């Protein structure tokens, strides 16, 4: 695949993954596929700090990297698109994390991909994904697609009447203790209901406060 900046040059690719073994493996495979690997980084901050120097046209990122190992790759991808809207993004993850995939895809722009690491089984598959993303396409792992389609059914419909009551009060900004007092139930019962709501909304554990905000957003958008 040639560079969009110079058709005579190979596509410029940067890699960010905290695992040295996986990172070096990706670099080797990308080079074998004919790409110009212009940077290899152990975390998202290092990638962003060196963005101007290496000037990649496409970036391959792990989803979970230091320091919290939650969503650093997704945050970096969103920041990259803000800084350079034309840059291609390929996220690699060990697991299907639909929430992160949705966040990356929410802009509606192409040139992005989300693949499971163990699905990228060959040089050809990775090369094909990088080339399609560079051309402006969206490349998603079949398992990610299946779960995204599954989420189209409104999960709020599965909430029990009590969970609806709890969610209404959560949306009002009440604490668990305040909700317990309002509904005349124990705080433990409120916590169980909140946990059930998170599970039904498929909100991965990236911090209780963050999940609470996302749950409220889903509730308000119903």
Instruction: Determine the pLDDT at residue 151.
Output: 57
* CA–CA distance, 136 with 195 (Å, rounded to integer): 39
Instruction: Determine the pLDDT at residue 94.
Output: 84
User: Average per-residue pLDDT in the chain?
Assistant: 84
Count, in order, helices (H) and strands (E) of the chain.
Answer: 11, 6
Q: What is the DSSP letter of 18?
A: S
Q: Does the 12-150 domain belong in CATH 3.40.50.2300?
A: yes
- In sequence order, the β-bridge partners of residue 196 are none
Tokens 């959560």 sit on residue:
170
- In sequence order, the β-bridge partners of residue 114 are 91, 140
* CA–CA distance, 135 with 110 (Å, rounded to integer): 9
Q: Are 104 and 74 a contacting pair, CB within 8 Å?
A: yes
Confidence label for 221 from pLDDT (cuts 50, 70 and 90): low
* CA–CA distance, 106 with 112 (Å, rounded to integer): 11
Q: Are 93 and 116 a contacting pair, CB within 8 Å?
A: yes
More confident residue, 81 or 40: 40
* CA–CA distance, 152 with 221 (Å, rounded to integer): 13
24-28, long-range: CB < 8 A, 24+ apart:
26/60, 26/126
| Domain locations along the chain | 12-150, 155-220
Q: What is the DSSP letter of 152?
A: T
- In sequence order, the β-bridge partners of residue 138 are 112
Tell me the two tokens of residue 77.
């991808």
- Is it the case that residue 83 has pLDDT exceeding 70? yes
* Percent of the chain residues past pLDDT 90, beyond the cut: 39
- In sequence order, the β-bridge partners of residue 111 are none
The C-alpha angle 52, 69, 90, rounded to 5 degrees, equals 50
* CA–CA distance, 27 with 40 (Å, rounded to integer): 8
* CA–CA distance, 102 with 169 (Å, rounded to integer): 26
Instruction: List pLDDT tens digits, range 155-187.
Output: 777 788 888 889 888 876 788 999 999 999 999
Q: Does the 155-220 domain belong in CATH 1.10.287.610?
A: no
More confident residue, 145 or 63: 63
48: CB partners within 8 A, 6+ apart: 76, 79, 80
Instruction: Determine the pLDDT at residue 169.
Output: 86
Domains 12-150 and 155-220 share a fold: no
Instruction: Determine the pLDDT at residue 52.
Output: 94
């Amino acid at each position: 695949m040639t560079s969009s900046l110079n058709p005579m040059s190979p596509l410029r690719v940067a890699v960010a993954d905290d695992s040295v073994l996986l990172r070096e493996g990706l670099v080797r495979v990308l080079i074998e596929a004919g790409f110009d690997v212009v940077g290899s980084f152990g975390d998202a901050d290092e990638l962003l700090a060196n963005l101007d120097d290496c000037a990649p046209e496409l970036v391959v990122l792990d989803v979970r990297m230091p320091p919290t190992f939650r969503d650093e790759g997704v945050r970096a991808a969103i920041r990259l698109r803000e800084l350079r809207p034309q840059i291609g993004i390929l996220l690699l993850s060990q697991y299907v994390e639909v929430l992160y995939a949705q966040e990356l895809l929410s802009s509606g722009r192409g040139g992005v991909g989300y693949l499971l690491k163990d699905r990228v089984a060959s040089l050809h598959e990775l090369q094909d994904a990088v080339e399609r993303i560079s051309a402006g396409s969206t490349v998603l792992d079949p398992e990610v697609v299946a779960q995204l389609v599954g989420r189209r059914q409104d999960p709020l419909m599965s909430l029990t009447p009590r969970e609806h009551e709890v969610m209404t009060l959560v949306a009002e900004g009440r604490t668990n203790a305040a909700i317990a007092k309002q509904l005349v139930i124990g705080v433990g019962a409120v916590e169980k209901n909140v946990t059930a709501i998170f599970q039904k909304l498929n909100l991965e554990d990236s911090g209780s406060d963050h999940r609470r905000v996302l749950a409220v957003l889903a509730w308000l958008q119903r």
